[in-house]
């Protein structure tokens, strides 16, 4: 008998006590297909694509540790924005696919995307009978974009973002400069006082 274990068979008695307590409680069964579970906010399900923001920079595909993102593109010539300007070329997205059989849901692709083209969607019902069907193309990733929840509200006591503070400061300076240049209501603009 181990020192400090009490009387012989005390472990068995404790185990049976837990079993009896559990047997007397009402069971909680999640009726999954009929009742969807309440997911926590910002839960990670699948990766959604907002393809209008994708510039085909390939950062997501290069940083993916599993190499499960497939991107194809071509270059198009864009006419000049202003007369006399020069033509520019830009990448156009042809294919964006993610192989969810390989994906480990680390979220690195979402974090490195500089143009906010990738987001976490709470969708989780995308099982397939064939593993080859787990490679989801651009149109399916786009469908999941509409299930992405809005970002949480900022904390009321949080510091204002630096971008907004800089924009507000610039707008205040412009408003002050315009107010200084505008004539005062009593000023008649060059007429002599009598």
One-character DSSP codes across 22-87 = HHHSPP----TTTS---PPTT---EEEE-GGG-----HHHHH-TT--EEEEEEEEEEPPSSTT---
Q: What is the pTM of this model?
A: 0.65
Residue in 152, 156, 144, 175 with CA at minimum distance from that of residue 50: 144
**CA angle, residues 127, 129, 135, in degrees to nearest 5:** 65
What is the total residue count of the chain? 194
Could you give the C-alpha distances from 30 to 27, 38, 40, 42, 76, in angstroms and in order?
10, 11, 16, 21, 52
d(CA 41, CA 150) in angstroms, rounded, equals 10
DSSP 129: S
Tens place of pLDDT per residue across the chain (194 aa): 555 567 788 889 999 999 999 888 888 888 888 888 888 877 889 999 999 999 999 999 999 999 999 999 999 998 888 888 899 999 999 999 999 999 999 999 999 999 999 999 999 888 899 999 999 999 999 999 998 988 777 778 888 878 788 888 888 998 998 888 877 666 555 555 44
Give the pLDDT score at 191: 53
pLDDT of residue 4: 57
Q: What are phi and psi of 127, to 5 degrees?
A: -65, 150
Q: In the chain, helix, strand, coil percent, each to 5?
A: 30, 15, 55
């Amino acid at each position: 008998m181990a020192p400090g274990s009490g009387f012989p068979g005390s472990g068995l008695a404790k185990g049976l006590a837990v079993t009896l307590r559990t047997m007397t409680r009402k069971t909680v069964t999640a009726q999954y297909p009929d009742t969807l579970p309440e997911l926590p906010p910002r839960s990670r399900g699948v990766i959604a694509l907002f393809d209008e923001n994708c510039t085909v920079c390939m950062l997501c595909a290069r940083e993916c540790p599993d190499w499960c993102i497939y991107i194809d593109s071509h270059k198009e010539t864009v006419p000049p924005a202003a007369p006399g300007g020069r033509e520019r070329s830009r990448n156009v997205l042809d294919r964006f696919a993610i192989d969810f059989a390989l994906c480990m849901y680390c979220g690195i692709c979402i974090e490195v995307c500089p143009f906010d083209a990738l987001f976490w969607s709470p969708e989780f019902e995308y099982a397939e009978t064939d593993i080859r069907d787990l490679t989801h193309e651009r149109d399916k990733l786009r469908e999941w974009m509409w299930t992405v929840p809005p970002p949480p509200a900022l904390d009321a006591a949080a510091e204002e973002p630096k971008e907004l503070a800089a924009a507000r400061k610039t707008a205040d300076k412009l408003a002050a400069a315009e107010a200084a240049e505008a004539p005062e209501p009593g000023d008649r603009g060059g007429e002599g006082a009598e």
